[in-house]
């Protein structure tokens, strides 16, 4: 079983995403386990449950401080080997190949950044990789954590019902997925391409690849370089 442990100060953001659809079924089939940990449970100030502080040297905003993060990671890890990820706009770009690499790890711990980030000493001593889901800034690392779990979990055998469907998706072979059609064959004068109705599987396969190449050239030519 693959385990995903998420450390956050907003644990209530996650149930709607993780307790439905494919991720819910993956947990029910015991292919994956997803646990949400409230960082405030590891606060050094039990009364106020504070987990942030002002940065040394001044500047705007607050930082998630080192003591609760160290404590949380140590407790979650226990004696298990786990890869620790920190979600941050300053991290390496996340893509499909990266998601596939992460499936090699049975235990992933994801730290959700907030405010101005986390104490650098946590990165130096605890974090294995810093990941960004795009060149933009969000209010926190919770949405990136959801995206990472979703992208990785669906690649784990048994999570997605029809695993063959994973083979022809966007970013496989560095191509975007081409167009798809379903019934009716003629909708308001818009007809399904004849080749898809021909029953000629080789011709359909060639057409789909041609469409994927054309889509990639138009939308993401950088993938073809």
Confidence of residue 180 (pLDDT cuts 50, 70, 90): very high
Cβ(102)–Cβ(148) under 8 Å? yes
Neighbours of 198 (CB within 10 A): 11
User: Taking phi first (over 0 means left), then psi (-120 to 50 degrees means alpha), and beta for anything else, what does residue 132 get?
Assistant: beta
Confidence of residue 47 (pLDDT cuts 50, 70, 90): confident
With a cut of 70, say whether residue 198 has pLDDT above it.
yes
Q: Which whole-number Å values give the CA distances from 7 to 25, 34, 84, in the listed order?
A: 22, 11, 10
To which residue do tokens 């993401």 refer? 220
- β-partners of residue 86 are 111, 130
For 39-156, list the strands marked E by DSSP. 52-53, 63-64, 83-93, 107-112, 129-132
What is the mean pLDDT of the segment spanning 48-70? 93
What is the mean pLDDT of the segment spanning 135-145? 96
As a CATH number, domain 2-153 is 3.40.1280.10
Cβ(112)–Cβ(88) under 8 Å? no
Cβ(153)–Cβ(21) under 8 Å? no
Q: pLDDT by residue (tens digit) across 94-128?
A: 999 999 999 999 999 999 999 889 999 999 999 99
DSSP label of 34: E
Domain spans of the chain, in order of start: 2-153, 169-224
Q: Could you tell me the CATH superfamily of domain 169-224?
A: tRNA(m1g37)methyltransferase, domain 2 (1.10.1270.20)
CA-closest candidate to residue 175, choices 220, 116, 206: 220
Average pLDDT in the chain = 93
Cβ(133)–Cβ(29) under 8 Å? no
- β-partners of residue 52 are 64
Radius of gyration of the CA atoms of the chain, in A: 22
Cβ(180)–Cβ(207) under 8 Å? no
């Amino acid at each position: 079983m693959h385990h995903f442990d998420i450390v956050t100060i907003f644990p209530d953001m996650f149930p709607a995403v993780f307790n439905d659809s494919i991720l819910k079924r993956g947990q029910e089939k015991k292919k994956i386990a997803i646990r949400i940990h409230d960082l405030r449970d590891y606060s050094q100030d039990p009364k106020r449950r504070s987990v942030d502080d002002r940065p040394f040297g001044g500047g705007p905003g607050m930082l998630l401080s080192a003591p609760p993060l160290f404590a949380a990671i140590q407790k979650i890890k226990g004696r298990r080997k786990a890869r620790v990820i920190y979600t941050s706009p300053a991290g390496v770009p996340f893509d499909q190949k990266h998601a596939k690499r992460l499936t090699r790890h049975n235990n992933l711990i994801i730290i959700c950044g907030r405010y101005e980030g986390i104490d650098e000493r946590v990165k130096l001593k605890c974090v294995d990789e810093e990941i960004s889901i795009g060149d933009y800034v969000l209010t926190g690392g919770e949405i990136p954590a959801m995206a990472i779990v979703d992208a990785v979990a669906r690649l784990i055998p048994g999570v997605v019902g029809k695993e063959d469907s994973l083979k022809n998706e966007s970013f496989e072979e560095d191509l975007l997925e081409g167009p798809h059609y379903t019934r009716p064959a003629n909708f308001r004068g818009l007809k399904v391409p004849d080749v898809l109705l021909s029953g000629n599987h080789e011709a359909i396969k060639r057409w789909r690849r041609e469409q994927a190449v054309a889509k990639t050239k138009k939308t993401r030519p950088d993938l073809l370089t």
